[in-house]
Amino acid sequence: PEVRGLFHAPTSTFSYLAWDPTTREAVIIDPVLDYDGASGHTDTVSAAALLAMAKREGLQLRWILETHAHADHLSAAAFLKDRTGAPIGIGRGITSVQANFRDIYHLGADFPVDGRQFDRLFDDGERFPLGELEVEVMATPGHTDDSVTYRIGDAAFVGDTLFAPDYGSARCDFPGGDAARLFASVQRLYALPSETRLFLCHDYPPAGREPRCEWSVAEQRAGNVHINAGTREFEFVEMREQRDAGLKMPALIIPSVQVNIRAGRLPEPEDNGRRYLRIPLDTL
Protein backbone atom coordinates (compact mmCIF):
# COMPACT_ATOMS: atom_id res chain seq x y z
CA PRO A 1 0.00 0.00 0.00
CA GLU A 2 0.85 3.66 -0.26
CA VAL A 3 1.24 5.10 3.25
CA ARG A 4 1.33 8.63 4.62
CA GLY A 5 1.99 9.34 8.28
CA LEU A 6 0.86 12.49 10.09
CA PHE A 7 2.74 13.31 13.31
CA HIS A 8 0.79 14.93 16.15
CA ALA A 9 3.56 16.61 18.13
CA PRO A 10 1.62 17.35 21.36
CA THR A 11 1.06 13.61 21.94
CA SER A 12 3.95 12.22 19.83
CA THR A 13 1.38 10.21 17.87
CA PHE A 14 1.46 9.04 14.26
CA SER A 15 -1.85 8.71 12.43
CA TYR A 16 -1.88 7.01 9.05
CA LEU A 17 -3.60 7.13 5.71
CA ALA A 18 -2.98 3.92 3.76
CA TRP A 19 -4.44 2.98 0.40
CA ASP A 20 -4.48 0.61 -2.52
CA PRO A 21 -2.73 2.53 -5.34
CA THR A 22 -4.85 0.80 -8.00
CA THR A 23 -8.37 1.42 -6.69
CA ARG A 24 -7.56 4.38 -4.35
CA GLU A 25 -9.54 2.74 -1.54
CA ALA A 26 -8.12 3.85 1.81
CA VAL A 27 -8.08 3.38 5.58
CA ILE A 28 -7.26 5.86 8.32
CA ILE A 29 -5.49 4.37 11.31
CA ASP A 30 -5.31 5.89 14.83
CA PRO A 31 -6.64 9.42 14.15
CA VAL A 32 -6.13 12.06 16.87
CA LEU A 33 -8.69 14.50 18.28
CA ASP A 34 -6.87 17.65 19.40
CA TYR A 35 -7.41 18.25 23.12
CA ASP A 36 -6.12 20.91 25.49
CA GLY A 37 -5.98 19.54 29.01
CA ALA A 38 -5.85 22.94 30.68
CA SER A 39 -9.04 24.26 29.12
CA GLY A 40 -10.84 21.04 28.19
CA HIS A 41 -11.11 22.36 24.63
CA THR A 42 -11.31 19.92 21.71
CA ASP A 43 -10.54 20.55 18.05
CA THR A 44 -10.45 18.60 14.81
CA VAL A 45 -7.50 20.25 13.06
CA SER A 46 -5.44 17.05 12.91
CA ALA A 47 -8.33 14.89 11.71
CA ALA A 48 -9.26 17.48 9.10
CA ALA A 49 -5.67 17.34 7.82
CA LEU A 50 -6.11 13.60 7.20
CA LEU A 51 -9.31 14.26 5.26
CA ALA A 52 -7.60 16.97 3.22
CA MET A 53 -4.77 14.57 2.42
CA ALA A 54 -7.27 11.94 1.30
CA LYS A 55 -9.02 14.49 -0.91
CA ARG A 56 -5.75 15.58 -2.53
CA GLU A 57 -4.90 11.97 -3.33
CA GLY A 58 -8.37 11.23 -4.69
CA LEU A 59 -9.03 8.50 -2.13
CA GLN A 60 -12.22 6.78 -1.03
CA LEU A 61 -12.19 6.09 2.71
CA ARG A 62 -13.40 2.58 3.52
CA TRP A 63 -12.41 2.15 7.18
CA ILE A 64 -11.35 4.02 10.30
CA LEU A 65 -9.19 1.60 12.27
CA GLU A 66 -7.99 1.75 15.87
CA THR A 67 -5.04 -0.35 17.01
CA HIS A 68 -6.35 -0.11 20.60
CA ALA A 69 -8.15 2.24 23.01
CA HIS A 70 -5.32 4.73 23.44
CA ALA A 71 -4.34 6.17 26.83
CA ASP A 72 -2.31 9.13 25.55
CA HIS A 73 -4.62 10.88 23.09
CA LEU A 74 -8.29 11.20 22.29
CA SER A 75 -9.50 9.50 19.14
CA ALA A 76 -11.04 11.41 16.23
CA ALA A 77 -12.71 8.25 14.88
CA ALA A 78 -16.25 9.46 15.61
CA PHE A 79 -15.63 12.82 13.92
CA LEU A 80 -14.27 11.07 10.82
CA LYS A 81 -17.19 8.66 10.72
CA ASP A 82 -19.63 11.55 10.93
CA ARG A 83 -17.85 13.30 8.06
CA THR A 84 -17.36 10.29 5.77
CA GLY A 85 -19.68 7.48 6.83
CA ALA A 86 -16.73 5.06 7.07
CA PRO A 87 -17.15 2.40 9.78
CA ILE A 88 -14.90 2.19 12.85
CA GLY A 89 -13.08 -1.07 13.63
CA ILE A 90 -11.05 -2.26 16.63
CA GLY A 91 -9.92 -5.57 18.14
CA ARG A 92 -12.47 -7.68 20.00
CA GLY A 93 -10.46 -7.27 23.18
CA ILE A 94 -12.02 -3.82 23.53
CA THR A 95 -14.82 -5.47 25.51
CA SER A 96 -12.38 -6.34 28.29
CA VAL A 97 -10.98 -2.82 28.27
CA GLN A 98 -14.49 -1.38 28.47
CA ALA A 99 -15.35 -3.63 31.41
CA ASN A 100 -12.23 -2.60 33.32
CA PHE A 101 -12.69 1.10 32.75
CA ARG A 102 -16.45 1.14 33.25
CA ASP A 103 -15.66 0.24 36.84
CA ILE A 104 -12.78 2.74 37.12
CA TYR A 105 -14.93 5.60 35.81
CA HIS A 106 -18.07 4.32 37.54
CA LEU A 107 -20.04 4.60 34.30
CA GLY A 108 -22.80 2.35 35.55
CA ALA A 109 -24.66 -0.62 34.14
CA ASP A 110 -26.14 1.52 31.38
CA PHE A 111 -22.73 1.76 29.72
CA PRO A 112 -22.48 -1.30 27.43
CA VAL A 113 -19.25 -3.32 27.48
CA ASP A 114 -19.95 -5.46 24.42
CA GLY A 115 -18.19 -3.18 21.94
CA ARG A 116 -21.38 -1.94 20.30
CA GLN A 117 -19.94 1.61 20.19
CA PHE A 118 -17.79 0.36 17.31
CA ASP A 119 -19.01 -0.86 13.95
CA ARG A 120 -16.76 -3.92 13.79
CA LEU A 121 -14.84 -5.98 16.33
CA PHE A 122 -12.01 -7.87 14.68
CA ASP A 123 -10.82 -11.35 15.66
CA ASP A 124 -7.25 -12.56 15.34
CA GLY A 125 -6.62 -13.72 11.78
CA GLU A 126 -9.62 -11.96 10.31
CA ARG A 127 -9.15 -10.54 6.80
CA PHE A 128 -11.08 -7.98 4.79
CA PRO A 129 -10.50 -6.31 1.42
CA LEU A 130 -9.04 -2.91 0.70
CA GLY A 131 -9.47 -2.52 -3.03
CA GLU A 132 -7.24 -5.17 -4.59
CA LEU A 133 -5.30 -5.52 -1.33
CA GLU A 134 -6.23 -7.34 1.86
CA VAL A 135 -6.05 -6.27 5.50
CA GLU A 136 -5.07 -8.99 7.96
CA VAL A 137 -5.78 -8.49 11.66
CA MET A 138 -3.14 -9.81 14.06
CA ALA A 139 -3.98 -9.80 17.77
CA THR A 140 -0.92 -8.35 19.53
CA PRO A 141 -1.98 -7.93 23.18
CA GLY A 142 0.27 -7.16 26.12
CA HIS A 143 0.25 -3.40 26.22
CA THR A 144 -3.55 -3.69 26.37
CA ASP A 145 -6.07 -6.48 25.92
CA ASP A 146 -7.42 -5.01 22.71
CA SER A 147 -4.13 -4.28 20.90
CA VAL A 148 -4.07 -5.40 17.28
CA THR A 149 -1.76 -4.99 14.29
CA TYR A 150 -3.19 -4.33 10.84
CA ARG A 151 -1.08 -5.94 8.13
CA ILE A 152 -1.59 -4.74 4.55
CA GLY A 153 0.85 -6.28 2.10
CA ASP A 154 4.38 -5.38 3.21
CA ALA A 155 3.12 -2.82 5.77
CA ALA A 156 2.11 -3.55 9.36
CA PHE A 157 0.57 -0.93 11.65
CA VAL A 158 1.61 -2.08 15.10
CA GLY A 159 0.06 0.47 17.46
CA ASP A 160 1.97 0.54 20.76
CA THR A 161 3.29 -3.02 20.48
CA LEU A 162 6.71 -1.66 19.51
CA PHE A 163 8.40 1.70 19.61
CA ALA A 164 11.50 2.82 17.71
CA PRO A 165 14.56 0.62 18.27
CA ASP A 166 16.24 3.32 20.36
CA TYR A 167 13.18 3.63 22.64
CA GLY A 168 12.05 0.02 23.00
CA SER A 169 8.62 -1.25 23.92
CA ALA A 170 5.30 -0.21 25.43
CA ARG A 171 4.38 -0.33 29.08
CA CYS A 172 2.27 -3.24 30.34
CA ASP A 173 0.90 -1.95 33.65
CA PHE A 174 -2.50 -0.72 32.47
CA PRO A 175 -5.53 -2.84 33.42
CA GLY A 176 -5.29 -6.00 31.31
CA GLY A 177 -1.64 -5.44 30.40
CA ASP A 178 0.85 -8.31 30.59
CA ALA A 179 4.56 -8.30 29.74
CA ALA A 180 4.70 -11.99 28.81
CA ARG A 181 1.85 -11.49 26.33
CA LEU A 182 3.64 -8.47 24.87
CA PHE A 183 6.78 -10.56 24.40
CA ALA A 184 4.77 -13.18 22.50
CA SER A 185 3.12 -10.48 20.38
CA VAL A 186 6.49 -9.01 19.40
CA GLN A 187 7.67 -12.48 18.38
CA ARG A 188 4.73 -12.62 15.95
CA LEU A 189 5.89 -9.36 14.41
CA TYR A 190 9.51 -10.54 14.27
CA ALA A 191 8.34 -13.65 12.38
CA LEU A 192 7.16 -11.46 9.50
CA PRO A 193 9.48 -11.09 6.49
CA SER A 194 12.55 -8.99 7.30
CA GLU A 195 11.63 -6.27 4.82
CA THR A 196 8.15 -5.75 6.30
CA ARG A 197 7.55 -2.08 7.09
CA LEU A 198 6.45 -1.60 10.70
CA PHE A 199 4.55 1.65 11.23
CA LEU A 200 4.57 2.87 14.83
CA CYS A 201 1.86 4.76 16.68
CA HIS A 202 4.35 6.88 18.62
CA ASP A 203 7.92 8.09 18.48
CA TYR A 204 9.88 9.79 21.24
CA PRO A 205 13.18 10.51 19.49
CA PRO A 206 16.35 11.45 21.31
CA ALA A 207 17.98 14.80 20.63
CA GLY A 208 19.28 14.96 17.10
CA ARG A 209 16.80 12.51 15.56
CA GLU A 210 13.58 13.58 13.88
CA PRO A 211 10.38 11.58 14.58
CA ARG A 212 10.31 8.51 12.36
CA CYS A 213 7.22 6.41 11.76
CA GLU A 214 8.63 3.47 9.81
CA TRP A 215 11.18 0.78 10.72
CA SER A 216 11.72 -2.61 9.15
CA VAL A 217 11.36 -5.91 10.96
CA ALA A 218 15.09 -6.45 10.36
CA GLU A 219 15.95 -3.14 12.05
CA GLN A 220 13.79 -3.96 15.06
CA ARG A 221 15.12 -7.50 15.42
CA ALA A 222 18.69 -6.26 15.28
CA GLY A 223 18.56 -3.13 17.37
CA ASN A 224 15.54 -2.76 19.65
CA VAL A 225 16.95 -1.85 23.07
CA HIS A 226 14.22 -3.73 24.96
CA ILE A 227 13.46 -6.73 22.78
CA ASN A 228 15.66 -7.89 19.93
CA ALA A 229 16.36 -11.26 18.34
CA GLY A 230 18.49 -12.36 21.29
CA THR A 231 16.18 -11.28 24.11
CA ARG A 232 14.76 -14.06 26.27
CA GLU A 233 11.25 -13.89 27.66
CA PHE A 234 12.20 -13.83 31.34
CA GLU A 235 14.69 -11.04 30.70
CA PHE A 236 12.09 -8.95 28.94
CA VAL A 237 9.38 -9.55 31.53
CA GLU A 238 11.73 -8.66 34.40
CA MET A 239 12.91 -5.50 32.65
CA ARG A 240 9.41 -4.42 31.67
CA GLU A 241 7.90 -4.96 35.12
CA GLN A 242 10.73 -3.10 36.87
CA ARG A 243 10.52 -0.25 34.38
CA ASP A 244 6.73 0.01 34.57
CA ALA A 245 6.82 0.21 38.37
CA GLY A 246 8.56 3.58 38.12
CA LEU A 247 6.51 5.15 35.32
CA LYS A 248 3.99 7.92 35.83
CA MET A 249 0.58 7.69 34.21
CA PRO A 250 0.28 9.29 30.74
CA ALA A 251 -0.81 12.92 30.98
CA LEU A 252 -4.06 12.31 29.09
CA ILE A 253 -5.04 8.83 30.29
CA ILE A 254 -8.04 10.07 32.30
CA PRO A 255 -9.77 12.01 29.52
CA SER A 256 -8.62 9.82 26.65
CA VAL A 257 -9.70 6.33 27.71
CA GLN A 258 -13.24 7.34 28.66
CA VAL A 259 -13.63 8.85 25.20
CA ASN A 260 -11.82 6.10 23.32
CA ILE A 261 -13.86 3.24 24.79
CA ARG A 262 -16.80 5.11 23.23
CA ALA A 263 -15.13 4.92 19.78
CA GLY A 264 -14.15 8.58 20.05
CA ARG A 265 -17.58 9.86 21.07
CA LEU A 266 -17.61 12.49 23.77
CA PRO A 267 -19.98 11.90 26.70
CA GLU A 268 -23.53 13.02 26.10
CA PRO A 269 -24.36 16.58 27.20
CA GLU A 270 -25.87 17.11 30.65
CA ASP A 271 -29.13 19.01 31.09
CA ASN A 272 -27.20 22.30 30.92
CA GLY A 273 -25.91 21.43 27.45
CA ARG A 274 -22.30 20.89 28.59
CA ARG A 275 -20.31 17.67 28.31
CA TYR A 276 -18.27 16.44 31.25
CA LEU A 277 -15.44 13.97 31.78
CA ARG A 278 -14.92 12.07 35.03
CA ILE A 279 -11.74 12.11 37.12
CA PRO A 280 -11.33 9.03 39.36
CA LEU A 281 -9.24 10.10 42.35
CA ASP A 282 -6.54 7.88 43.91
CA THR A 283 -7.35 5.05 41.50
CA LEU A 284 -4.88 4.83 38.60
- Model confidence at 284, in pLDDT bands (50, 70, 90)? confident
User: What average pLDDT is seen over the chain?
Assistant: 97
What pLDDT does residue 240 have?
97
Predicted confidence at residue 184, as pLDDT, reads 98
Instruction: Please write the tens of the pLDDT for every residue from 168-221.
Output: 999 999 999 999 999 999 999 999 999 999 999 999 999 999 999 999 999 999
The per-residue pLDDT for range 211-266, each reduced to its tens digit, is 999 999 999 999 999 999 999 999 999 999 999 999 999 999 999 999 999 999 99
Q: Give the span between the Cα atoms of 76 and 153, in whole angstroms.
A: 26
**Average pLDDT for 57-82:** 98
pTM summary value:
0.96
Indicate the pLDDT class of residue 86, thresholds 50, 70 and 90.
very high
Nearest to 192 by CA among 149, 146, 245, 223: 149
Within 13 Å of residue 116, how many CA atoms lie on the same side as its CB?
5
Q: Strand pairing partners for 199?
A: 157, 214
